[in-house]
């Protein structure tokens, strides 16, 4: 084979220069831009052997494409013309139609040929389609790739007919193989002139290619690669920590954020008055981290140190003015927090309860004052249930008090200023005002868990309040038609449902989900907004929560899809019980008897379905009608095993129960080998079906094996 000629490969530099793009959106935009360009190059048959890299800074989105063919490969295409009947006359000579087709295709009539199509024979011509150059393709592909970026909220900066983007686009650089591309994005013609850092660089820099661009921008105060900026920040944080003898409060997401907030990040240290350390750490860290984007630092013993590390967007602070400015801002913030800490506590936490009247939860579900009443009722209901089930440390009065206080901090100045501290501030105030640890911790923790990794509330009272709050949110929202769809879940109901599941499982709480949903529905009806929940909505809510539970069992606990389905098919109203059954099922699956038995169960289900016998059908077996030995053997084995399984189940020994069931494999196999279920005699047939129905009924109460057994169904 002849070696292919060495094709010329070229590189592209493409930069979209903008006014400051929100830092939080940059990582996704980088990724999306790369995907868009790759997709468009694939569609143009230009992607082979190409690497696309994208980088974002607040003022630019940069693409570097390497190994790009200078031109698409040429391809031969077939163009069909008129049908054979029209193209040739009775003696087989080409007609005018054939001639004009040839002219149009710029080929000789003798080059035309016939092709077989679905509609018959047609005239055809070969056409060489010359590949277009990368330049020709890129001038349309690049603007398109930028245009197709999806932003949470775009804008226009000229007028209604102007371009839309996340922030105004101000310049474009597009250089292919050293030459500028003639294209425009958002009405701005591309060139080869970029801009440096706003304060550290030149305002016009000519660039030839990506390496040249990266080098020149580095000299002009812009580190183009986000990973390099993160490294620079990490190194400087470490250097400050070492010099000061403290530890930086580890915070990967803050590091990422500041890397995207700055084109040339540098770290400076500032100090604050140690007197502020009398405020709780939670408040100090939140002010520094969430409001000022500073890294908090701690001493070796874990206590906060009166310093902070700020990431600035310039290379130095030679006069110390920047440091002084940041210190001043932080001082004012801390002074505010201190002021709130004192003024909020001029009255007691419970005194804020009436003010919750003015804090809306959801317009149709009323204020937080209304929500608190519902949560109180529900938290008490939970604790009462637990106490009656023998959990003697479940205190109704404590749950009631914690629920009463839980939302009070929403009306405090501290939370109105630092909203992310909701719950935490309430807990801190409760403790400072002499509430018991149980109640203060419950208030502090009751928003938890906020995700799969987040811990659940520390104590039982906190769990009761958290469950009540979350369940009320889910039930209330579903009742007024707020149901999460796709990416839209404004009231974070999925998170709430996940929280419910996590708390129940990790605290091993005995709860009937359907009864709990019923209790929440009742609270919604007896308290404001006095709204009923339809039975089908209650079912919908249960399914919604069970979906989250399935997710937890699969993703976190590693149970197989069909195992979870087998257990949930039998019911998962009590999640802790479902978890035990799952564990037993997973264990028994390894035994050699299990899988064949599961297949038999599937077969039984199919037979019953074909005979129109519903699952759970209660027809009785008449022992007198049992004819065959294998049949009688199965009957007595089922009777015997059923009694054992019941005993094991009642003792919560699911694995023993499943082992007993697995032990039936031999008699079941013998039954199917020797007995014809669909016998001629109707009474006999019916009796056999009854036997199978009983078997299925008795032995699918732990898990429905027919969900597991291999190929028979689906």
Which of 8, 144, 147, 164 lies at the binding interface for other proteins (CB under 8 A)? 164
How far is Cα 656 from Cα 38, in angstroms, rounded to an integer?
56
**CB of 299 closer than 8 Å to CB of 247:** yes
- Report the nearest approach of other proteins to the CB of residue 229 (Å): 14
- In the chain, the largest separation of any two C-alpha atoms, in whole Å, equals 110
Minimum distance, C-beta of residue 337 to other proteins, in the bound complex (Å): 12
| Binding residue for other proteins, selected from 43, 75, 332, 534, defined by CB under 8 A | 332
Question: What would the x/- binding string for other proteins be over residues 361 to 400, using CB under 8 A?
Answer: --x--xx---------------------------------
Number of H helices, E strands in the chain: 25, 18
Q: Pick one of 256, 283, 312, 708: the residue that binds other proteins (CB under 8 A).
A: 312
- Residue appearing with tokens 């056999």: 688
Which parts of 333-352 interact with other proteins (CB under 8 A)? 335-336, 339
Smallest separation (angstroms) from other proteins to the CB of 597: 55
Interface characters, 176-215, with other proteins (x: CB under 8 A):
----------------------xx----------------
Which lies closer to other proteins via its Cβ, residue 330 or residue 505?
330
**Which of 323-331, 630-638, 651-659, 698-706 is the region at the interface with other proteins (rule: CB under 8 A)?**
323-331
386/396 Cα distance (integer angstroms): 10
Q: Which among 346, 342, 408 has a CA at the least distance from the CA of 375?
A: 408
Comparison of 302 and 490: residue with beta carbon closer to other proteins: 490
Q: Give me the residues paired with residue 347 across strands.
A: none
Which DSSP symbol is given to 706? G
Query: How far are the Cα atoms of 38, 91, 251, 652, 697 from residue 649, in angstroms, in the given order?
Result: 57, 90, 48, 5, 14
Q: Is 588 helix (H, G, I), strand (E, B) or coil?
A: helix
Residue 235 CB, nearest approach to other proteins (Å): 19
Site string for other proteins, 144-163 (x = CB under 8 A): ---------xxxxxxxxxx-
From the CB of 186, what's the least distance to other proteins, in Å? Answer: 12
**Per CB under 8 A, 279 contacts other proteins:** no
DSSP secondary structure of 315-371 = S--TTSHHHHHHHHHHHHHHHHHHHHHHHHTTS-GGGGGGGGGGSEEETTTEEHHHH
Q: Exposed (0-12), middle (13-18) or buried (19+): which is 453, by Cβ within 10 Å?
A: exposed
* Count of positions on this chain that bind other proteins (CB under 8 A): 53
Kindly indicate which of the ranges 204-212, 248-256, 310-318, 634-642 contains the residues binding other proteins, using the contact rule CB under 8 A.
310-318
Residue closer to other proteins (CB basis): 158 or 539 = 158
Is 330 a binding residue for other proteins by CB under 8 A? The answer is yes
For other proteins, the binding residue among 8, 126, 215, 328 (CB under 8 A) is 328
Nearest to 408 by CA among 348, 459, 462, 362: 348
Q: How far is the CB of 325 from other proteins (least distance, A)?
A: 3
CB of 310 to other proteins, least distance (A): 7
Residues near 22 by beta carbon (within 8 Å), at least 6 away in sequence:
166, 167
Please say which residue, 58 or 426, places its beta carbon nearer to other proteins. Answer: 58
Is 329 a binding residue for other proteins by CB under 8 A? The answer is yes
Least Å distance, CB 257 to other proteins, is 11
Our measurement of the distance from residue 239's CA atom to the centroid of its chain's CA atoms, rounded to an integer in Å, reads 36
CA distance 217 to 209: 12
* Minimum distance of other proteins from residue 375's CB (angstroms): 17
Nearest residue (CB) to other proteins, 327 versus 398 = 327
Q: Which secondary-structure segment (H or E) carries 128? A: strand 120-129
Please, which residue, 257 or 703, has the CB nearer to other proteins?
Answer: 257
The verdict on 498 binding other proteins (CB under 8 A) reads no
Residue given tokens 């002021």 in the structure block? 339
Could you say which of 96, 126, 179, 358 contacts other proteins (CB under 8 A)?
Answer: 358
- Site residues for other proteins, window 22-61 (CB under 8 A)? 22-24, 58
- Identify whether the C-beta of residue 477 lies closer than 8 Å to the C-beta of residue 540: no
- Please say whether the beta carbons of 11 and 208 come within 8 A: no
Nearer to other proteins, 31 or 156 (CB): 156
Provide CB contacts within 8 A for 314, sequence distance 6+.
Answer: 199, 200, 221, 264, 266, 322
Report CA 30 to chain centroid distance, whole Å: 19
Contact (Cβ atoms closer than 8 angstroms) between residue 575 and residue 686: no
How distant is the alpha carbon of residue 80 from its chain centre? 50
User: Given the complex with other proteins, which of 290 and 577 has the nearer CB atom?
Assistant: 290
- Neighbour-count burial of 84, counting CB atoms closer than 10 A to its CB (0-12 exposed, 13-18 middle, 19+ buried): middle
CB nearer to other proteins: give 144 or 164.
Answer: 164
And the tokens for 213?
Answer: 């661009």
CB of 371 to other proteins, least distance (A): 11
Residue 461 or 473: the one with the smaller Cβ distance to other proteins is: 473
Q: Which of 321, 392, 614, 624 binds other proteins (CB under 8 A)?
A: 321
> Which residue number, 312 or 566, has a Cβ lying nearer to other proteins?
312
User: Does 310 sit near other proteins (CB under 8 A)?
Assistant: yes
DSSP 112: -
> Please, what is the angle between helix 535-551 and helix 561-570, to 10°?
150
In terms of CB distance, is 159 or 616 closer to other proteins? 159
Cis peptide before 449 (omega within 30 of 0): yes
- 3-class SS at 455? coil
CB of 197 to other proteins, least distance (A): 11
Q: How far is the CB of 260 from other proteins (least distance, A)?
A: 11
CB-based contacts of 610, cutoff 8 Å, min separation 6 = none
Region near other proteins per CB under 8 A, out of 43-51, 236-244, 305-313, 626-634: 305-313
CB contact at 8 A, 427 and 443: yes
Binders in 465-484 for other proteins, by CB under 8 A: none
Of the two residues 91 and 160, which places its CB atom closer to other proteins in the complex? 160
* Minimum separation from the CB atom of position 484 to other proteins (A): 20
For helices 226-244 and 252-261, what crossing angle results, to 10°?
Answer: 120
Nearer to other proteins, 93 or 335 (CB): 335
Chain-centroid distance of CA 242 in Å reads: 38
322 forms part of the interface with other proteins (CB under 8 A):
yes
- State yes or no: residue 292 binds other proteins (CB under 8 A): yes
Query: For other proteins, which is the closer residue by CB, 331 or 458?
Result: 331
Query: Could you say whether residue 325 binds other proteins (CB under 8 A)?
Result: yes
Structure tokens at 124: 């055809």
- Positions touching other proteins (CB under 8 A) are 19-20, 22-24, 58, 153-162, 164, 167-168, 170, 198-199, 261-262, 292, 310, 312-314, 317-319, 321-322, 324-326, 328-332, 335-336, 339, 355, 357-360, 363, 366-367
């Amino acid at each position: 084979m002849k070696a292919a000629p060495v094709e010329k490969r070229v590189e592209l530099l493409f930069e979209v220069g903008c006014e400051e793009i929100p830092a939080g959106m940059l990582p996704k935009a980088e990724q999306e831009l790369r995907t868009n360009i790759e997709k468009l190059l694939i569609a143009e048959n230009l992607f082979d052997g190409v690497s696309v890299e994208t980088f974002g800074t607040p003022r630019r989105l940069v693409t570097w494409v390497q190994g790009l063919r200078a031109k698409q490969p040429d391809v031969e295409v077939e163009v069909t013309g008129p049908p054979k009947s029209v193209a040739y006359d009775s003696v087989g000579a080409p007609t005018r139609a054939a001639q004009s087709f040839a002219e149009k295709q710029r080929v000789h009539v003798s080059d035309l040929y016939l092709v077989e199509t679905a509609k018959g024979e047609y005239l055809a011509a070969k056409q060489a389609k010359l590949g277009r150059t990368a330049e020709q393709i890129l001038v349309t592909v690049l603007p398109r790739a930028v245009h197709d970026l999806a932003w949470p909220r775009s804008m226009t900066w000229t007028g209604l007919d102007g371009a839309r983007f996340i922030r105004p686009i101000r310049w474009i650089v597009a250089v292919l193989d050293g030459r500028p591309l003639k294209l425009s994005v958002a009405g701005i013609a591309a060139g080869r002139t970029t801009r440096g850092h706003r304060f550290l660089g030149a305002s016009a820099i000519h660039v030839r290619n990506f390496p040249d661009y990266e080098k020149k921008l580095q000299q002009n105060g812009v580190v183009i690669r986000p990973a390099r900026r993160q490294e620079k920040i990490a190194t400087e944080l470490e250097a400050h920590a070492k010099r000061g003898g403290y530890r930086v409060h580890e915070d990967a997401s803050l590091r990422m954020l500041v890397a995207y907030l700055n084109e040339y990040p540098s770290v400076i240290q500032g100090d604050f008055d140690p007197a502020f350390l009398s405020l709780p750490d939670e408040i100090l860290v939140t002010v520094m981290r969430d409001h000022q984007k500073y890294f908090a630092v701690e001493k070796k013993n874990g206590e906060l140190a009166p310093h902070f590390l700020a990431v600035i967007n310039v290379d130095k602070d030679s006069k110390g003015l920047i440091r002084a400015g940041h210190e001043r801002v932080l001082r004012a913030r801390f002074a505010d927090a201190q002021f709130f800490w004192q003024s909020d506590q001029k009255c007691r936490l419970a005194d804020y309860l009436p003010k919750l009247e003015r804090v809306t939860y959801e317009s149709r579900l009323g204020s937080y004052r209304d929500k608190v009443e519902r949560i109180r009722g529900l938290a008490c209901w939970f604790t009462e249930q637990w106490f009656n089930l023998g959990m003697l440390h479940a205190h109704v009065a404590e749950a009631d008090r914690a629920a009463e206080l839980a939302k009070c901090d929403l009306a405090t100045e501290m939370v109105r200023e630092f909203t992310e501290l909701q719950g935490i501030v309430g807990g801190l105030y409760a403790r400072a005002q002499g509430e018991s640890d149980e109640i203060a911790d419950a208030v502090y923790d009751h928003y938890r868990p906020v995700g799969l990794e987040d811990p659940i509330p520390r104590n039982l009272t906190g769990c009761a309040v958290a469950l009540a709050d979350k369940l009320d949110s889910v039930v209330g929202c579903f009742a007024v038609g707020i149901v999460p769809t796709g990416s839209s879940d404004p009231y974070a109901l999925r998170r709430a449902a996940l929280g419910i599941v996590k708390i129940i499982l990790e605290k091993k709480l005995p709860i009937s989900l359907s009864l709990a949903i019923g209790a929440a529905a009742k609270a919604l009806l007896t308290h404001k907004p006095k709204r009923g929940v339809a039975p089908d909505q209650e079912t919908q809510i249960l399914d919604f929560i069970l979906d989250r539970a399935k997710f937890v069992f699969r993703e976190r606990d590693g149970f197989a899809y069909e195992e979870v389905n087998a257990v949930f098919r039998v019911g998962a109203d009590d999640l802790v019980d479902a978890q035990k059954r799952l564990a037993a099922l997973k264990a028994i699956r390894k035994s050699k008897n299990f899988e064949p038995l599961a297949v038999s169960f599937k077969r039984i289900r199919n037979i019953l379905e074909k005979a129109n016998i519903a699952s759970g059908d209660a027809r009785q077996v008449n022992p007198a009608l049992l004819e065959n030995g294998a049949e009688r053997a199965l009957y007595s084995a089922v009777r015997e095993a059923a009694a054992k399984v019941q005993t094991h189940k009642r003792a919560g020994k699911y694995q023993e129960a499943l082992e007993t069931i697995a032990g039936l494999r031999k008699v079941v196999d013998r039954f199917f080998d020797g007995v014809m279920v669909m016998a001629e005699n109707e009474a006999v047939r019916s009796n056999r079906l009854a036997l199978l129905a009983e078997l299925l009924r008795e032995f699918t109460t732990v898990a429905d094996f027919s969900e597991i057994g291999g190929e028979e169904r689906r």
